Structures are given as structure tokens and as C-alpha cells.
Copies of this chain bind each other. A is one copy, B any other.
Amino acid sequence: MFIKSLNSIPIEKVNAGKDTFRQILIGSDEAPNFAMRRFIIEPGGEIPNHTNTVEHEQLVLNGRAKVGIGDETFEVRKNDVVFIPANVPHWYKTEGDDAFEFLCMVPNQEDIIEILEYKKRKRP
């Protein structure tokens, strides 16, 4: 077993995103079935459209964002629960003056990430 304070966990930059950071709360090496991460997107930041080969179970902890999932766009905010199935394109763009923070759980399976931003920008 273990207990950690969120504030004691290192924060790393997510290079695929703009002004995006990540903490590994429970790593795939620390638990048998799934990992718990926190993402922080500073105001004005974004994560470009991409796919993962694993699903995401998310809870918004702070702030607001536009989230694209498949061909739809949603406004999400603190206390929204978001489920993104494996291989479904998704992106995030903050709204307002607060950091957008969310918990994101993924199974302990290989995750191949494909950035689709270039394709998205080519759309009319």
C-alpha cells in the first residue's frame, strides 16, 4: 500500500501539448491493472487532436475546456466525468482564466499515441 500527497508528486511537461503538464499519481509499475494521472493545461493551453490505443476514464478537477471527441465538441467543467473509448480522436482547449485540470485513468496496456492535428487543420 502507499499514500502520497499530490503536492509531493513531480510535474512533467507534456511536449505534445501547449502549456500542458502531467503528474503520475499511481504508475503502471505501482498497481496491477490501471494507472492514475493528473493533467494540468494552463489557461490558453491545449492538447491537439490525437488517438490512444487505450480508453480514458476522466474526472475534471478544476477549470473549463472545450473537448473534442470524435466529430463532436463539448464544454466540460469541474466535476464532469468523461469516458473516451480507445482509438477515438480527442482534443482539449482551455476556456476562461483558470487552469484546466483533470484526472485520467488508463489500463496497464500498451498505449500508442497518434497525433492527428495536421489532418484536423486541413479540414475546411
A-B contact pairs, 16 of them (CB 8 A): A3-B74, A3-B83, A4-B80, A4-B81, A5-B79, A9-B81, A26-B57, A26-B81, A31-B55, A34-B57, A36-B57, A36-B59, A36-B81, A57-B105, A103-B103, A105-B105
Cβ of A99 under 8 Å from chain B: no
Q: Give chain B residues whose Cβ lies under 8 Å from the Cβ of A82.
A: 1-3
The count of chain A contact residues (Cβ–Cβ below 8 Å) is 35
A45 close to B (CB within 8 Å): no
Having A26-B83, A36-B57, one finds 19 other A-B pairs with CB under 8 Å, namely A1-B83, A1-B85, A2-B83, A3-B82, A3-B83, A4-B80, A5-B80, A26-B81, A30-B83, A31-B55, A32-B55, A33-B34, A33-B107, A34-B34, A34-B105, A34-B107, A36-B105, A59-B103, A105-B105
